[in-house]
Chains A and B, each alone.
Chain A
Amino acid sequence: MSAAVPGAPAAPAAPPAAPALRCTGLVRSFGGVQALRGASFSVAAGQVCALIGPNGAGKSTAVAIMGGALRADQGQVELHDTEITGWPSNRIARAGLIRTYQLSRELGRLTVLENLMVVPYRQAGESLWNVFARPGLVRAEERRHLDRALELLETFGLIRLRDSYASELSGGQKRLLELARSVMAQPRMLILDEPMAGINPALIDKIGEHILALRDQGVTVLMVEHNLGVVERICDHVIVLAEGATLATGLMAELREQPAVVRAYLGGALSDSTSS
């Protein structure tokens, strides 16, 4: 556990297991606004880790940088000891890091089933040559992907909606679909940007269970989350960002004892979560 003054370069966290993801000194400005000011943290392999902090702390900017959607002005991102700083998002995805979005971004005019079927990388049927010259190969591979997609839809309770357009789903169902889609990619590391936002408590528990199941399968999860009750229940480790820098890292129970964290940013939320 560590604490730092906002704005000052924070010491990297030192979680127990080897880090799956390590960010060092991330800096990013938008015009005159400095969204990240040297944030450093790491996520241990095989853990569920929460990234929390008040609005404007730089969480979404950090997620965008880790996922390759944004470039950092300074700093490094490493995924399983491979530096991925500045890689385009498709290359990062192929390296095993998949992210979801703060507002669900389903592929609206693809069916639920197709949202999963489209995921596997470098499908034989994505080659023009194979489509016309090797249809048998394409069909055989499609069968395998179809099996896996149906299995995941079953797991995530979306099987009955398989033929619906993704745009026709409810908010909670879109969250589940996004999670299922990410799992279809067989990631080593998942970054979930507010996976519980705007969904009912029953579904929150369900998504929490899915996240823990993923962890048990060896997937490392970093989730941006405002629901501290959920964070306390399912996260092994918590990173607190504030004003673009790492304020503290540790267990939720430990963070609750930190006067600086409680006083400056999380007081209300922390005491609320105790009763939730």
Chain B
Amino acid sequence: MQLVYYAVTLIFFFFLYCILNWGLNLQFGRTGILNFAYIAFVAVGAYFTGVLSLGSPIAGSGESYILGSTLPFPIPLIVGGLASSAFGLLIGLIAFRRLRSDYLAIVMISVSIVLYDVVTNFVPLFDGADGLNGVPEPFSGALNLNANSFLYVFAAFTGLVALAGWWVMSRLTRSPLDRTFRAIRDDPDVARGLGKNVFGYQMLAMAVGSFFAGIGGGLLMEFVGAFNTSAWTSGETFVIFAALIIGGLGNNAGMIAGSLAVPVIFVQLPKFLPQIGGNPALIPEIDNMIIGILLILTLWFRPQGLVPERRMTFDRLLAGRNRVPRLSLMPRLSLLARRGGDR
């Protein structure tokens, strides 16, 4: 039974990191936005989902947070995603106007640190370092679930959300919009010189990617039932970036491989291992070292990652257009066939 519980928890984290990785992949892998504050966007989603589920702080409990209410699930989750999006737009508004990618990265690190300090020290916001606890389990009342069955149901629900996320990202990354994102990633000046509103597209990528981060944060909050500042240190951003690079930057399937390779196998799985020499901090430290080494080895020997970004070839482009009659292309295709034969 214990083993099943571990397995379900790992499956939940696998789905969760898939969602988180897709969001950051859209921002960094496809649009070139080096968002080192990504974990802060996850936190925004988690906190908003939490406060909108918890209800008002109980007088005398010592807890204090803003916006306390009990909205029915999944409204808090969706609002968490939207709040993260809005936060992304706010940061983008300041950062994208004048900054290029390397300076943007520095600003993002600063944003993450500032937000972390504000949330930690300004206790009335989200109860400071203690964070939010006792967030009610969704579905438990309606489906009459106990603590264990809740885990199964919620892991399955997270799987459904991940499936929806996969569908959205697959559709998006085959679209002309994604092509424009990638043009901006490759050279924003050239994209601008071709008439593209680079700022607008960066803001869009920021909003959509942050929505994924916010939903991921909300799911984490609902699953664990608690969230505090120890959950979103800058090391967590490093884990997601490592998953992105090792999995295969720019590839949605690579994000799945990365989620499995880094956060699940190297971060979550060892949490269930027995302590070494009675030192609880030793395994996480060894984990970090292994992830760092893995990252270096990937960058040396397979910089494209486990599943590299797929080339949008003519055939793939055409396959996407096949669903409607393409009469105007027929002469062109026969021309190409002839050319192929000439070679």
Q: Out of A88, A89, A105, A123, which one reaches B176, CB within 8 Å? A: A123
Contact (A131, B194) CB under 8 Å given A138-B176, A140-B324: no
Q: Out of B186, B194, B198, B321, which one reaches A109, CB within 8 Å? A: B186
B176 in contact with A125 (CB, 8 Å): yes
Instruction: Say which one of A113-121, A220-228, A241-249 lies at the interface with B.
Output: A113-121
Q: How far, in whole Å, are A125 and B176 apart by their CA atoms in the complex? A: 5
A143 interfacial by beta-carbon distance below 8 Å: yes
Q: How far, in whole Å, are A111 and B194 apart by their CA atoms in the complex? A: 17
A185 in contact with B195 (CB, 8 Å): yes
Interface size class of A (residues with CB under 8 A): 35 or more
A116-134: which residues lie under 8 A (CB-CB) from chain B?
117-119, 121, 123-128, 131-132
Which chain A residue lies CB-closest to B343?
A: A160
Query: A144-177 CB contact bits vs B (8 Å, 1 = yes)?
Result: 1011001100100001101101000000000000
Q: Out of A101, A114, A119, A121, which one reaches B312, CB within 8 Å? A: A114
Query: B174-194 CB contact bits vs A (8 Å, 1 = yes)?
Result: 011101101101110111111
A51 interfacial by beta-carbon distance below 8 Å: no
A123 cross-chain contacts in B, Cβ below 8 A: 176, 180
B332 in contact with A110 (CB, 8 Å): no
A197 interfacial by beta-carbon distance below 8 Å: no
A128 in contact with B197 (CB, 8 Å): no
Q: Out of B168, B185, B195, B323, which one reaches A90, CB within 8 Å? A: B195
A138 cross-chain contacts in B, Cβ below 8 A: 175-176
B208 interfacial by beta-carbon distance below 8 Å: yes
B312 cross-chain contacts in A, Cβ below 8 A: 110-111, 113-114
Which chain A residue lies CB-closest to B323?
A: A139
- Closest Cβ of chain A to B321, distance in Å, is 5
B33-80: which residues lie under 8 A (CB-CB) from chain A?
none
- Closest Cβ of chain B to A76, distance in Å, is 21
B313-342: which residues lie under 8 A (CB-CB) from chain A?
313-314, 317-318, 320-321, 323-324, 326, 328-329, 332, 335-336, 339
A163 in contact with B177 (CB, 8 Å): no
Query: A190-205 CB contact bits vs B (8 Å, 1 = yes)?
Result: 0000000000000000
B339 in contact with A108 (CB, 8 Å): no
B171 in contact with A132 (CB, 8 Å): yes
A127 cross-chain contacts in B, Cβ below 8 A: 177
A107 interfacial by beta-carbon distance below 8 Å: yes
Q: Please tell me the number of chain B residues within 8 Å of chain A, measured between CB atoms.
A: 46
B8 interfacial by beta-carbon distance below 8 Å: no
B294 cross-chain contacts in A, Cβ below 8 A: none
- Closest Cβ of chain A to B341, distance in Å, is 13
B191 cross-chain contacts in A, Cβ below 8 A: 107, 118
Which chain B residue lies CB-closest to A113?
A: B314
B204 cross-chain contacts in A, Cβ below 8 A: 128
B186 in contact with A108 (CB, 8 Å): yes
B314 in contact with A126 (CB, 8 Å): no
Contact (A165, B311) CB under 8 Å given A107-B190, A131-B172: yes
Query: A178-195 CB contact bits vs B (8 Å, 1 = yes)?
Result: 000100010000000000
B302 interfacial by beta-carbon distance below 8 Å: no
Which chain B residue lies CB-closest to A105?
A: B190
B236 interfacial by beta-carbon distance below 8 Å: no
- Closest Cβ of chain B to A110, distance in Å, is 6
Contact (A142, B320) CB under 8 Å given A90-B198, A98-B194, A107-B190: yes
B177 in contact with A185 (CB, 8 Å): no
- Closest Cβ of chain B to A107, distance in Å, is 4
Q: Out of A110, A139, A144, A159, which one reaches B182, CB within 8 Å? A: A110
- Closest Cβ of chain B to A61, distance in Å, is 16
B187 cross-chain contacts in A, Cβ below 8 A: 105, 107-108
B193 cross-chain contacts in A, Cβ below 8 A: 67-69, 89-90, 93, 98-99
| Chain A residues at the B interface, C-beta cutoff of 8 Å | 67-69, 88-91, 93-94, 98-99, 101, 105, 107-111, 113-114, 117-119, 121, 123-128, 131-132, 135-136, 138-144, 146-147, 150-151, 154, 159-160, 162-163, 165, 181, 185
| Chain B residues at the A interface, C-beta cutoff of 8 Å | 168, 171-172, 175-177, 179-180, 182-183, 185-187, 189-198, 201, 204, 208, 250, 309, 311-314, 317-318, 320-321, 323-324, 326, 328-329, 332, 335-336, 339, 343
A-B contact pairs, 12 of them (CB 8 A): A89-B192, A98-B194, A107-B186, A114-B182, A114-B312, A114-B317, A117-B317, A119-B194, A132-B168, A141-B176, A146-B329, A150-B332
* 5 further contact pairs, Cβ within 8 A, besides A90-B192, A132-B168, A139-B323: A114-B312, A118-B194, A141-B176, A146-B317, A146-B329
